[in-house]
Amino acid sequence: MHTSYEPPSTGINGQAADDSAGGAGAAYLFTWDGGSWMQEAFIKASGTAAGDRFGSTVALSADGNVLAVGAANEDGGKSESGAACLY
Ligand SMILES: [Ca+2]
């Protein structure tokens, strides 16, 4: 029997079908082309972990060039300390 470990999806345009880290969260970026919404990016945290709630808050700059995505329960500093990621 063959088994392999696949780490949870991270970063931009990873595996959207990967739901191995429950509650990790994700953000989808869409652009309006004048007629319809087009998906531009699928975004996961750089350090995907179950329960981190990446995408629990989002903000976009007025010119649309900077996206902030909050991860309320990210563990970078202390457990569940939270983080914001800028793109
Ligand atoms: Ca966490």
pLDDT in tens, 20-70: 999 999 999 999 999 999 999 999 999 899 999 999 999 999 998 999 999
Distance 39 CA to ligand 1 centre (A): 27
pLDDT of res. 61: 96
For residue 2, pLDDT over 70 is answered with no
DSSP symbols for 33-70: -SSSEEEEEEE--TT--TT--EEEEEEE-TTS--EEEE
Distance 58 CA to ligand 1 centre (A): 18
CA dihedral 56, 60, 65, 70 (to 10 degrees): -20
pLDDT of res. 1: 47
Q: Provide the residue type at 26 as one letter.
A: A
Evaluate if pTM is beyond 0.75. yes
Distance CA 40, CA 79 (A): 32
**What average pLDDT score do residues 14-20 get?**
90
